[in-house]
Amino acid sequence: MTTTAFPVSDRMESPSELRARHRILVVDDNPHSAQTLERLLLKECYQVLALSSAVEAAELLPRFAPHMAVLDLGMPVMDGFALCKLLRQGSEGRRMHIVALSGRDYTNAEVKEAGFDRLFLKPLDWLTLKVELARVVAKREI
């Protein structure tokens, strides 16, 4: 009996291997919220950059080059709406999946018009966000 060796590239990647190739930017002016979400995403094997300043995030964008972003809407100096607009300006930004987080009651239409793909109200429903991001990873080839 002979066995056929398959090249590594022909094997299916596990869900955690797929997630590990995806970089997620998390920006929330509440450092505890940003760090908590960072820890949860790291446990799911994503590469994560979590910041509490949208201005700092804007400066680090070229070096981190995220595939997805989770942005708090109500932040000082530069809010999530302005950061989303900045993210969407680049060629990768048009394909990027960007999620809005808010403690205020925005409508889905308002956030879609601003360039976001989805709105999550605080307190965050982690399981729903986790499923949302996994769905995006499964659809996206990087």
Task: Assess whether pLDDT exceeds 80 at residue 78.
Answer: yes
Task: Assess whether pLDDT exceeds 90 at residue 98.
Answer: yes
Three-class SS state of 41: helix
Give per-residue pLDDT as tens, 25-71: 999 999 999 999 999 999 999 999 999 999 999 999 999 999 999 99
Q: What phi, psi does 98 have (nearest 5°)?
A: -120, 125
CA distances to 10, 20, 32, 118, 140 from 28, in Å: 39, 22, 9, 16, 25
Please report the pLDDT score of residue 3 as a whole number: 47
The pTM assigned to this predicted structure is: 0.87
> How does residue 10 score in pLDDT terms, banded at 50, 70 and 90?
low
Ordered by where they begin, the domains of the chain are 15-135 (3.40.50.2300)
> How does residue 11 score in pLDDT terms, banded at 50, 70 and 90?
low
Please report the pLDDT score of residue 6 as a whole number: 46
